[in-house]
Amino acid sequence: MPIDWFPLWLSLRVAVLATAAAVVLGLWLAWLLANRDFRGKEWLDAAVALPLVLPPTVLGYYLLVLLGRASPLGKLYETVVGQPLVFTWQAAVVAALFHALPLLVKSARAALESVDPVYQRAARTLGASEWRVFLRVTLPLTQRQVLAAAALAFARSLGDFGVTLMIAGNIPGRTQTISVAIYDAVMADNGAAARAMVLVVSVVALATLALANRLSGAAMR
Amino acid sequence: MIEARIRKRFRQGRESAGFTLDVEFEAGPGVTVLFGASGAGKTLTLDCIAGFVKPDEGRILLDDVILFDAVSGVNLPPRERRCGYVFQNYALFPHMTLRENLTFAAGGWPRAERRRKVNEVLERFRLADIAGRMPHELSGGQKQRGSIARALVGGGASHSGGTRILLLDEPAQGLDAPLREEFYAVLRQVKAEFGTPALLVTHSLEECCALADYMHVVSAGRLARSGTPREVIEEPGSADVARLLGLYNLISGEVRALDPGRNRSRLKLGEFEVEARYLPGRLIGDRVTVYVRPAELRASPKDGRPGVNQAALVLRQVVDLAEGVRLEFESGIAVEMTRADYALSAAAREWLVEFPASSLRVL
């Protein structure tokens, strides 16, 4: 029986999109946490880290409630896009995004905080807006660490299982990502397919982690 | 021109002593120096003006623009203050070439104007040939000129009127003598060619004398004395300032006799008594501090009993100065004399030190 590689391509597409979204959202959150003092900052900090400790089923349940067809957000999405979000491959992107976000925020925040504040001060006295300071000074100075964080986020979004299953389901050929497909293959006693997919996922994850280490290692030097 | 009244209080923390900055001063055209020991509040004052630190009370005016006013709640962000800040380690952006550093600063000017301004400033500071280098490829002196040039180019949309004042935080600290000289020359050039006023923080009296048109001595968060360097050195005004300047013999003593008719007084300084000028407003028995410049004292090898205003002192060590030598005696008193004078009697251990009445200043 030939191995169906659709889950791999879907997973890669989901992981790329989720990483892109996580970088934008994560950098913004990291910047907020690193630079701003506001009420409830500790709570935001804790909430961002929550997906690391919550069972995926709990996180998935929250997202179902938040984005389901009956919820305001779900309805809004359906009106704009023309189809519901849950149980589509786009929902898998959302799942992977939340799965990857905590890691990205943590490392991006550490990177932003590692920049000597004197450069930001200098940029401000030279008339730069906060946005310009971030884009032209802070971000270039942390480029490598942020790329390393993005690589980590990519590896992590590739590996989500529980949340994806909860909100994107397990529809072969439509929403079945590789981690879910491996589970199916094992359950169906399809050892060859399981082994092949396990090997591919492991190689991709290992290569991504090596890249991440290389990036952050070079930044240290 | 800056007019500042700044009050900022830091509560006593677990690991830090409480500190209150409370200063009021003006800085006109030319170079104004904030002089003081580290921890006196000089850099904090600079940071309040630049907008990095928000004072609790007070008002900061720069060329009729209110940068900060506690009463009306005005507190302009740093980017709108048009202060060119030169940081201690220069803070050139390490990921940009020197030219890009300046172009970043000139962001508020229209494109063509920006190019012209950047080129002009690079040219004036002899940086045009190395404008394409990254900061880590520049020498110390080049970085320094680069960071002053960048501060002068002044950027951002709200900076299009140019930089109004340069704020320099110990820019010559840790530089060797030739680089310090170069820095003095650059700052004089700024004054002559750009006319931008500068407020400079330093704890080096040499730097202060080389550059300052006017100086404020900051001590423990307050202004202890203001004036031209000459005025401050000649009349420190308090023992505290005299000690900070580090130029004087400071001797504590007691008033023994006062004679307004003959414009005389007698002071007991430690073991010996000297005659000084009459001290208005003092009473017999008052404790006073006398300060004497080492160059105004006269010393000769001991050849008899001390005469009027002379004290017999034992020499501890001799320090070579750029011009002449300084004899340091066991009681902590120092005398400066020319090398030739010292050579005549170099072997002596016991000396007579004379305190001319005109040299004794009483605080």
Q: State the average pLDDT over residues B134-163.
A: 80
pLDDT bin (cut points 50, 70, 90) of residue B158 is very low
Instruction: Tell me the average pLDDT of chain A.
Output: 91
Cα–Cα distance for residue pair B225/B40, rounded to 1 Å: 13
Chain A CB contacts of B157 below 8 Å: 127
Tell which wins on pLDDT, B161 or A221.
Answer: B161
Q: Is A177 helix (H, G, I), strand (E, B) or coil?
A: coil
Q: State the average pLDDT over residues B131-158.
A: 85
Q: In what order do the strands lie in the sheet with B74-75?
A: B74-75, B65-69, B57-62, B2-10, B19-27, B222-227, B214-219, B31-35, B198-202, B165-169, B83-86
Domain assignment present for A90: yes
Is the pLDDT confidence value at A116 over 50? yes
Chain B CB contacts of A128 below 8 Å: 79, 104, 107, 155-156
Minimum CA–CA partner of A119 in chain B? B91
Is the pLDDT confidence value at A218 over 60? no
Q: How far is B107 from chain A (nearest CA, A)?
A: 8
* Interface touch A127/B157, C-beta < 8 Å: yes
Nearest CB among B52, B91, B156 relative to A127 is that of B156
pLDDT bin (cut points 50, 70, 90) of residue B157 is very low
Domains of chain B, earliest start first: 2-244 (3.40.50.300), 248-362 (no CATH)
- Residue B24 vs residues B222, B223, B233, B298: alpha-carbon distances, Å: 8, 8, 21, 40
Q: State the average pLDDT over residues B245-267.
A: 84
Model confidence pLDDT, tens digit, residues A89-115: 999 999 999 999 999 999 999 999 999
Cα–Cα distance for residue pair B113/A39, rounded to 1 Å: 44
Instruction: Tell me the average pLDDT of chain B.
Output: 87
Residues of B with CB under 8 A from a CB of A: 50-52, 77-85, 87, 89, 91, 93-95, 104-105, 107-108, 150-151, 154-159
Phi-psi region of A90 (alpha: psi -120 to 50; beta: other; left: phi over 0): alpha
Cα–Cα distance for residue pair B333/B316, rounded to 1 Å: 10
- Nearest Cα to Cα of residue B236 among B290, B297, B304, B284: B290
Q: How far is B120 from chain A (nearest CA, A)?
A: 18
* Interface touch B107/A132, C-beta < 8 Å: yes
pLDDT of residue A210: 93
pLDDT of residue B264: 86
Q: State the average pLDDT over residues B29-55.
A: 92
If one counts every other C-beta atom within 10 angstroms of the C-beta of residue A16, the result is: 15
Q: Is B187 helix (H, G, I), strand (E, B) or coil?
A: helix
Strand-strand pairing, B2-10 and B19-27: antiparallel
Minimum CA–CA partner of B49 in chain A? A125
Q: Is A87 helix (H, G, I), strand (E, B) or coil?
A: coil
Model confidence pLDDT, tens digit, residues B269-328: 877 888 888 888 888 888 888 888 888 888 888 888 888 888 888 888 888 887 788 888
* Interface touch A141/B94, C-beta < 8 Å: yes
Domain assignment present for A1: no
pLDDT of residue B249: 80
pLDDT bin (cut points 50, 70, 90) of residue B161 is low
pLDDT of residue B156: 44
Task: Please report, for the domain that includes residue A66, its CATH number.
Answer: 1.10.3720.10
Residues B165-179: b if buried by 16+ CB within 10 A, e if exposed: bbbbbbbbeebeeee
- Nearest Cα to Cα of residue A115 among B46, B100, B91: B91
Q: Is B32 helix (H, G, I), strand (E, B) or coil?
A: strand
Is the pLDDT confidence value at A127 over 50? yes
* Interface touch A127/B52, C-beta < 8 Å: no
pTM of the model: 0.78
Q: Is B59 helix (H, G, I), strand (E, B) or coil?
A: strand
Chain A CB contacts of B104 below 8 Å: 123, 126, 128, 136
* Interface touch A127/B107, C-beta < 8 Å: yes
Cα–Cα distance for residue pair B240/A199, rounded to 1 Å: 76
Point out the least confidently predicted range of A62-76, B62-76, B146-160.
Answer: B146-160
Model confidence pLDDT, tens digit, residues A145-191: 999 999 999 999 998 999 999 999 898 889 999 999 999 999 999 99
Residues of A with CB under 8 A from a CB of B: 116, 118-119, 121-129, 132, 136-137, 140-141
Which letter does DSSP use for residue B204 in this model?
-
Domain assignment present for A136: yes
Domain assignment present for A215: yes
Q: How far is B279 from chain A (nearest CA, A)?
A: 51
Point out the least confidently predicted range of A54-58, A192-196, B291-295.
Answer: B291-295
- Residue B355 vs residues A175, B252, B336: alpha-carbon distances, Å: 98, 14, 13
Q: For chain A, report the end-to-end CA distance as a whole number of angstroms.
A: 50
Strand-strand pairing, B83-86 and B165-169: parallel
Q: For chain B, report the end-to-end CA distance as a whole number of angstroms.
A: 33
Nearest CB among B52, B93, B159 relative to A127 is that of B159
Q: Is B225 helix (H, G, I), strand (E, B) or coil?
A: strand
Domain count, chain A: 1
Question: Do B87 and B143 touch, CB atoms closer than 8 A?
Answer: no
Tokens of A74: 């779900």
The residue range of the domain holding A89 is: 6-220
- Pick among B67, B93, B143, B165 to test the A interface (most A CBs inside 10 A): B93
pLDDT of residue B290: 82
Share of chain B above pLDDT 90, in %: 35
pLDDT of residue B39: 85
